């Protein structure tokens, strides 16, 4: 079983997000980056599938500037076998079709049985790259997998539907599947894993070898959301908060 896991490096949930002077994106120089949290579950699922099937290879694939090698290394430290880094220079690409074309062009010759992704990225939240790549490479596709069960030439996935509904779908391999967060408990890298990761290969693909010209959508401007709601801030100690909450429930909302 040869598995590619697509991972992304994104701003951490605690980091400040200063907007660039041209308003096109945030100032990445001032941002601390982490592995896109949903991707941790995809890496774990890939490693579990490899362990369950007893053989195979897990390859961590990421696109972005040099900094993204840190998350590839993190995947290698957890037990993945090698990495592929699609290098980007300048402004990061946010057009899912163009990103998917780049990644597909590099994955094509590798003949992966499975491509796994997290459910979406915490930065642009487009939530489609894995499915786009699946279509481009002629794979079957499934999303929001809560459980996986690899069979001979197929994979059964328990898809999460809405409002507490689920559905098992059997997909012939090769398949591209997005993994729902929470389905497993991502492992931490061991010290031995971290040391071993340094010796594992990361193949770097330069921008001219994967980038496409046609960019069909782009982010023109980012801005702080304006709330239309009047929010009453209630600060102070617990007793004064309780007094005010009782007043709200009783006199303003009349629910007591």
Partner 1 sequence: MDILVVLEDNRGSLHRMSKEAIAGAQKMGGSISALAIGVNADAMAGELSGVDITEVITINHDLVSSYNADGYSDVVSQVIKSESPKTIVAGHSYQTRDFMPRVSAKLDIPFIPDIISMDDGIVKQVLNAKLNALVTTSADQVILSFQSAMFSEEAMVTGSCLARSIEVNLDSSIVRSEAEDPFQEDAGDVDLESAELIVSIGRGIEKEENIQMAFDLAKVLGAEVSASRPVVDSGWVEPFRQVGSSGQTISPKLYFSLGISGAIQHVVGMKGSKNILAINKDPDAPIFEIADYAVVGDLLDIIPKLIEALQTEKDL
Q: Which of residues 4-43 bind partner 1 (CB under 8 A)?
A: 11, 13, 17, 19, 26
Report which of 184, 193, 199 is spatially closest to residue 83, judged by C-alpha positions.
199
Residues 139-158 that bind partner 1 (CB under 8 A): 140-144
Q: Please report whether residue 135 would count as binding partner 1 according to CB under 8 A.
A: yes
Among 108, 195, 204, 219, binds partner 1 (CB under 8 A): 219
Q: Please report whether residue 108 would count as binding partner 1 according to CB under 8 A.
A: no
Distance set, CA 60 to CA 5, 23, 115, 192, 215 (Å): 5, 32, 10, 19, 25
Cross-strand pairs, 61: 6, 84
Residues 231-250 that bind partner 1 (CB under 8 A): 231-239, 241-246, 248-250
Looking at beta carbons only, is 77 or 99 nearer to partner 1? 99
Residue 19 Cβ vs partner 1, minimum distance, rounded to whole Å: 7
Contact between 173 and 113 (Cβ < 8 Å) = yes
Looking at beta carbons only, is 191 or 255 nearer to partner 1? 255
Q: Please report whether residue 96 would count as binding partner 1 according to CB under 8 A.
A: yes
Q: Please report whether residue 164 would count as binding partner 1 according to CB under 8 A.
A: yes
Dihedral-angle region of residue 246 (phi above 0 means left; psi in -120 to 50 means alpha; beta otherwise): alpha
Residue 166 Cβ vs partner 1, minimum distance, rounded to whole Å: 6
Residue 4 CB neighbour total at 10 angstroms:
27
Tokens found for residue 46: 């890939």
Residue 244 CB neighbour total at 10 angstroms:
14
Q: Please report whether residue 161 would count as binding partner 1 according to CB under 8 A.
A: yes
Q: Please report whether residue 202 would count as binding partner 1 according to CB under 8 A.
A: no
């Amino acid at each position: 079983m040869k598995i590619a896991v697509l991972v992304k490096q994104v701003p951490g949930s605690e980091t400040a997000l200063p907007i660039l002077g041209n308003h096109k994106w945030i100032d990445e120089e001032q941002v601390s980056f982490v592995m896109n949290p949903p991707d941790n579950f995809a890496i774990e699922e890939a490693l579990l599938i490899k362990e369950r099937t007893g053989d195979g290879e897990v390859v961590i694939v990421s696109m972005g500037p040099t900094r993204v090698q840190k998350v590839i290394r993190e995947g290698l430290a957890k037990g993945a076998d090698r990495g592929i880094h699609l290098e980007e220079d300048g402004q990061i690409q946010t057009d899912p079709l163009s990103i998917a074309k780049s990644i597909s062009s590099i994955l094509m010759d590798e003949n992966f049985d499975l491509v796994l992704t997290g459910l979406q990225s915490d930065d642009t939240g487009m939530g489609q790259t894995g499915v786009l790549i699946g279509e481009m490479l002629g794979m079957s596709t499934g999303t929001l997998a809560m459980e996986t069960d690899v069979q001979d030439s197929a994979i059964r996935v328990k898809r999460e539907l809405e409002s507490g509904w689920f559905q098992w779908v059997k997909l012939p391999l090769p398949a591209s599947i997005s993994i729902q967060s929470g389905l497993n408990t991502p492992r931490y890298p061991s010290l031995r894993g971290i040391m071993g990761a340094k010796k594992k290969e990361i193949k770097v693909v330069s921008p001219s070898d994967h980038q496409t010209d046609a960019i069909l959508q782009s982010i023109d401007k980012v801005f702080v959301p304006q709330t239309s709601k009047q929010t009453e801030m209630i600060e102070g100690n617990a007793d004064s908060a309780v007094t005010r909450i009782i007043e709200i429930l009783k006199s303003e909302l009349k629910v007591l």
